[in-house]
Amino acid sequence: MKPVWAVLTFAAMAAGASEAALLAHHSFATLYIEADTIEIEGDVVEFQYKNPHSWIFVQGHEGFGRDRIYAGEWTSPSQLERMGISKSFFHVGDSVHVWASPNRDPNDNRIRLKRIERRSDGWKWGGNRGDTR
């Protein structure tokens, strides 16, 4: 028979792993106000091409003029790759216009991308189709 502390330790580790997995794959509606859209104009400061979702960080301001770095949650790298978007697609300093669902917590800088346009070449993603044009 295993000692009680070993069983409790294992149970705590399993619960922690389950919680981390749930947080990593969340419903967008728990974090973002899907019915609302904010617009942000600014420059890319980082692009993270990683699972489960890629992230694009934009230093700019939304309609009310709040300057900050927004962390835009996007889709998975495999989906981006199918649309021709590689990990080197965005560069630091790229000027972009972003449409996004705002975070439920106004102090949280995370947003969910709905649409993005790059100024230098007119590249667009999103809207109702959710693809590149």
Q: How crowded is residue 117: how many other Cβ atoms within 10 Å of its Cβ?
A: 18
pLDDT tier, 7 (very low <50, low <70, confident <90, very high otherwise): very low
Residue 60 pLDDT exceeds 50? yes
Distant-in-sequence, close-in-space partners of 63: CB < 8 Å, separation ≥ 6: 38, 39
pLDDT of residue 121: 96
SS (H, E, C) 45-86: EEEECCCCCCEEEEEEEECCCCEEEEEEECCCHHHHHHCCCC
Q: Between residues 29 and 41, which one has the greater pLDDT?
A: 41
Cα separation, 41 vs 127, in Å, equals: 16
pLDDT of residue 2: 54
pTM of the model: 0.74
Mean pLDDT computed over every residue of the chain:
81
pLDDT of residue 132: 47
In the structure encoding, which two tokens stand for residue 126, read together?
Answer: 């999103």
pLDDT of residue 48: 97
